[in-house]
Amino acid sequence: MATETHEVVDAAAPGMPQLDFSTFPNQIFWLVVTLVVIYLILSRVALPRIADILAERQGKITHDLAAAEDLKLKAVEAEQAYEKALAEARAEANRIVGLAKDEIKADLDAAIAVADAEIAAKMAESEQAIAEIRANAVTSIAEVARSTAVELANTLAPGIADEAAVLAAVETRLKG
Amino acid sequence: MATEEHGAESGGLVFHPMDQFIVKPMFGDGPVAWYTVTNVTLWMALAVVCVLLMFVLATSRRRIVPGRFQSVAELGYGFIYKMVEDIAGKDGVKYFPYIMTLFLFIVFANFLGLLPMAFTTTSHIAVTAVLAMGVFLTVTILGFVLHGASFLKLFWVSAAPLPIRPVLAVIELISYFARPVSHSIRLAGNMMAGHAVIKVFAGFAALAAISPFAILAITAMYGLEILVSFIQAYVFTILTCVYLKDALHPHH
């Protein structure tokens, strides 16, 4: 089969089959058909569809970027709100700490004042007691001196000694 | 098919590098009429199937995060769209579907032609000439429709000194009419040459002594051809954009 065909063609085109003009109408006809079919496929279906896909993707990308930008803004806002709340809480905490400190200080001052007063009272009492003791001691010493002097005078010069004079002398000594 | 039987017929070192380009009917042997279903029909239909798979099926799920095939479709779309926009300008964007059609047809035809036993539709001057003439006529008519007679200013290089402008106009005119020729022959020539060379190396592979080198050479050529397949589609498309730019903005 092939050989026969070849002979037929050979007769028409020795050398280059490209220059066999008898096949030109056939090739041109089928070429035109092919081009029209490809053109219709492309212009009716393929190219609009691809353009749609590309536009849709571009739209989606733009939309997503805008959404991302939005979310980013929201995140910044949230962060600011958080910072603000944190600062407020810190201020509140400081205020409460200050209040507590003042209260404690007041309590402490009151307690110290009470303690001071008590201490002062105790001290006064003690001083009084010491003064009394000292006064007693002075009286006792005078008495002891007097009785000792009388006894001494009586022992050393019995009968001579004038009790009143001795006592006066003791009295003078004690004062000096 | 024809190539194999040739080898079997004569034996030994036989080259039929051009047999792969023969247009033959898919069913029966009759003459090739304009409506006959031939291997041209088959491989062009396969290009259409590839377009359907890559650009309709792969994008059918319309995923925001694309899969592999949808990514490729989107890349191809972006690649050509940006090319049209950069070269032809904002007002060239409305011709984007036409340019995309040309690019996809050429790129799939080129790559399908690299399959073993395939038929490369873009290696035929009849096909590339129709493509190039289509671009040439469209661009020329568009230029006259949009700009009227002032489209002819394209050939009148106002940047040059007055005395040499007529000379330049002649040169510009010749180069303008040479565009479809170079546009079509570049693509067909590249595709044909690459495939023919691979076939020649394949013929050498029949000799045991040099077959390793031949196979190595086929591999290397195949790699080069993959590059060329894409580059030629790219070049054809980018030149179309450049011509379109001339039609839209003829005043340099």
CB contact under 8 A, A53 and B6: no
- pLDDT score for B251: 73
Q: Decide if B44 touches A, using CB distance below 8 A.
A: yes
Residue B13 has pLDDT above 80, yes or no: no
**Of the partner residues B21, B97, B101, the one whose CB lies closest to the CB of residue A18:** B21
Query: Mean pLDDT over residues B62-91, rounded?
Result: 92
Residue B12 has pLDDT above 70, yes or no: no
User: Which residues of chain B have a CB within 8 Å of the CB of A34?
Assistant: 44-45, 47-48, 105
- pLDDT score for B145: 93
- pLDDT score for A14: 53
The residue that leads in pLDDT, A119 or B2, is A119
CA distances to A57, A79, A81 from A92, rounded to whole Å, are 52, 20, 16
- pLDDT score for A13: 42
Three-state SS string over chain B comes to CHHHHHHHHHCCCCCCCCHHHCCCECCCCCCCCCCCCEHHHHHHHHHHHHHHHHHHHCCCCCCCCCCHHHHHHHHHHHHHHHHHHHHHCHHHHHHHHHHHHHHHHHHHHHHHCCCCCCCCHHHCHHHHHHHHHHHHHHHHHHHHHHHHHHHHHHHCCCCCCHHHHHHHHHHHHHHHHHHHHHHHHHHHHHHHHHHHHHHHHHHHCCCCCCHHHHHHHHHHHHHHHHHHHHHHHHHHHHHHHHHHHHHHCCCC
CA distances to A156, A167, A173, A176, B187 from A164, rounded to whole Å, are 16, 5, 14, 18, 169
Q: What is the ipTM of this complex?
A: 0.87
Q: What gap in Å lies between CA B132 and CA B135, rounded to an integer?
A: 5
Q: Decide if A27 touches B, using CB distance below 8 A.
A: yes
Residue A70 has pLDDT above 90, yes or no: yes
Query: Mean pLDDT over residues B207-225, rounded?
Result: 91
CB B119 within 8 A of CB B42: yes
Round the CA-based radius of gyration of chain B to a whole number and report it: 22
Query: Mean pLDDT over residues A164-171, rounded?
Result: 81
- Those of residues 88-117 in B touching chain A at CB distance below 8 A are 96-98, 100-102, 104-105
Q: Sorting pLDDT into bands at 50, 70 and 90, what band is B112? A: very high
- C-alpha torsion angle, residues B124, B130, B136, B138 (rounded to 10): -150
The residue that leads in pLDDT, B162 or A93, is A93
Residue B217 has pLDDT above 50, yes or no: yes
Residue A6 has pLDDT above 80, yes or no: no
Query: Mean pLDDT over residues B173-195, rounded?
Result: 94
- pLDDT score for B159: 83
**Of the partner residues B31, B48, B188, the one whose CB lies closest to the CB of residue A38:** B48
Residue B203 has pLDDT above 90, yes or no: no
- pLDDT score for A4: 43
Q: Sorting pLDDT into bands at 50, 70 and 90, what band is B67? A: confident
The residue that leads in pLDDT, B204 or A77, is A77
Q: How far is CA B136 from the centre of its chain?
A: 15
Query: Mean pLDDT over residues B154-160, rounded?
Result: 84
- pLDDT score for B2: 41
- pLDDT score for A81: 96
Q: What gap in Å lies between CA A111 and CA B213, rounded to an integer?
A: 115
CA atoms within 13 A of residue B39's CA, in its CB half-sphere: 20
- pLDDT score for A161: 65
Query: Mean pLDDT over residues B215-239, rounded?
Result: 95
User: Which residues of chain B have a CB within 8 Å of the CB of A4?
Assistant: 29
CB B115 within 8 A of CB B195: no
Average per-residue pLDDT in chain B? 89
- pLDDT score for A12: 42
Residue B166 has pLDDT above 80, yes or no: yes
**Of the partner residues A24, A51, A56, the one whose CB lies closest to the CB of residue B126:** A24
Query: Mean pLDDT over residues B102-126, rounded?
Result: 94
CB contact under 8 A, A26 and B34: yes
CB contact under 8 A, B55 and A41: yes
The predicted-structure confidence for A82-132, as pLDDT tens digits, reads as follows 999 999 999 999 999 999 999 999 999 999 999 999 999 999 999 999 999
Query: Mean pLDDT over residues B96-103, rounded?
Result: 95
Q: Sorting pLDDT into bands at 50, 70 and 90, what band is B244? A: very high
Q: Sorting pLDDT into bands at 50, 70 and 90, what band is A170? A: confident
Query: Mean pLDDT over residues A13-34, rounded?
Result: 85
The predicted-structure confidence for A32-66, as pLDDT tens digits, reads as follows 999 999 999 999 999 999 999 999 999 999 999 99
For chain A, give the percent of residues with pLDDT over 70.
Answer: 91
Query: Mean pLDDT over residues B122-134, rounded?
Result: 94
- pLDDT score for B34: 86
Q: What gap in Å lies between CA B241 and CA B24, rounded to an integer?
A: 34
- pLDDT score for B106: 96
Q: Sorting pLDDT into bands at 50, 70 and 90, what band is B252? A: low
Q: Decide if B40 touches A, using CB distance below 8 A.
A: yes
Query: Mean pLDDT over residues B54-82, rounded?
Result: 91
The residue that leads in pLDDT, B62 or A7, is B62
**Of the partner residues B2, B36, B102, the one whose CB lies closest to the CB of residue A5:** B2
